[in-house]
Amino acid sequence: MIRANDKNIKTWIEVSENSDFSIQNIPFGIAKVNNEVFVATRIGDTVVNLYTVARLGHFDVAKDVFASCRLNDFMLLGKQATRDVRDKISDIFNANNAEAKNNVELQEALLNVNDVEMLMPVEVGDYTDFYSSEQHAFNVGCLFRDPDNALMPNWKHIPVGYHGRASSIIPSGTSFHRPKGQKKPPTEEMPVFGQSNLLDFELETAFFTYEGKPLGDSISTEEADDYIFGMTLLNDWSARDIQGWEYVPLGPFLGKSFASHLSCWVVTLDALEPFRTAGPVQNPKVLPYLEYAGDKHVDINLEVLIQPEGGEETSVCKSNYKYMYWNMNQQLAHHSVNGCNIKAGDCMGSGTISGPKEGEFGSMLEISWKGTKTVPMKDGTERKFINDNDTVIMRGFAEKDGVRIGFGEVAAKVLPAK
């Protein structure tokens, strides 16, 4: 058992009942206070400066990795170092540790979340986005082809993916401008240039990798857990009208590369271990390198909300990460099977996560059924896609046996096109 995951542990830090950040979570992020940037964790609404904790001699790893503006330096130490640090944090903030609770120097490491600016947690070197939700792929296939030809012939044989743009992956809270590009309206013979009128969110998660193997070697599904650092929420925005015109024959480009937002706390794979669950039966049988043993899917509740400017949030989707057809182990094994080298900080998007029922669809393309249905907001307005000045919010958590492991949220406001 992973010691920090013990469901019976309590903490001397105040944690509200429904907090995403229980003592069993211990995520990692990059925080900034008064121009000081450091690696942090969060317990309840308390952000813990891990550089301060390290300077007090609590960790067995070099303290300078916690003074970094990115988690990559810490990730380069590997999975055992992550596990050891989580275990030590769990011990320090255990309710039974009166010495730590009364340590004046340690108190200096504790900050209110409202006094902290959260930054991009990882310097992303490479970004791959998969297309691994069967219901989403089926829905899109129905919308653009027909139900009898919804899934492409390769879909159930490989975790389909594409290489995306790492530079435009940005942290939660960063507003962005509506993208512009070429579009071809169905009523026009020639393409036109202008702003995207079909701006859409995509409900996704992302996982980040440790340093992988050298170029030419591959990571098996059995080994994959040792190469996965942790997960965040991901809003992988899509400009559907730009994407629809450009994607043949080489796939997404300008319709995707303008912005992708991450939640700021990386929840470790270790913390999510108690929430593993069985995945769907994969039929036809996958090739041997994609076979895996045990429960490798994860039960994570997900929700998307739209907040018009000055208005209330309206929930438009409730889904779950367990609905994925292809799991992270298979995605990483497929990504590296050709000898592609994986680096510390690589980001792998899940692809849009849609459940089997209406209300569980992870994009407005599906929710509005390509614009044929409207979605009512609490302020009386309606949506088919995302309007200027809307804020899209995604939240996610896993919960079992009285323990809640959450991600916080990823939120971003859409500004008018420049």
H-helix or E-strand containing 287? none
Closest CA to 391 of 371, 368, 410: 410
Structure tokens at 133: 């939700």
Q: Say how many C-beta atoms besides its own lie within 10 A of residue 143's C-beta.
A: 16
Distance of alpha carbon 236 from alpha carbon 352, whole angstroms: 8
What is the DSSP code (8-state) at residue 274? G
In degrees, rounded to 5, the angle at the alpha carbon of residue 202 between the alpha carbons of residues 242 and 222 is: 120
Q: Catalytic: which of 136, 261, 334, 335? A: 136
Annotation says 136 is catalytic: yes
Kindly give, in sequence order, each residue whose CB lies less than 8 Å from that of residue 309, ignoring residues fewer than 6 positions away.
389, 390, 391, 413
112-142 as b/e: b if 16+ CB within 10 A: eeeebebebbbbbebbbbbbbbbbbbbbbbb
Q: In terms of DSSP H, where are the helices of 339-417?
A: 364-367
Residues 365 and 375: their CA atoms lie apart, in Å, by 11
Which ranges of 219-371 would DSSP assign to H, the alpha helix? 240-246, 269-272, 328-336, 364-367
Catalytic residues: 136
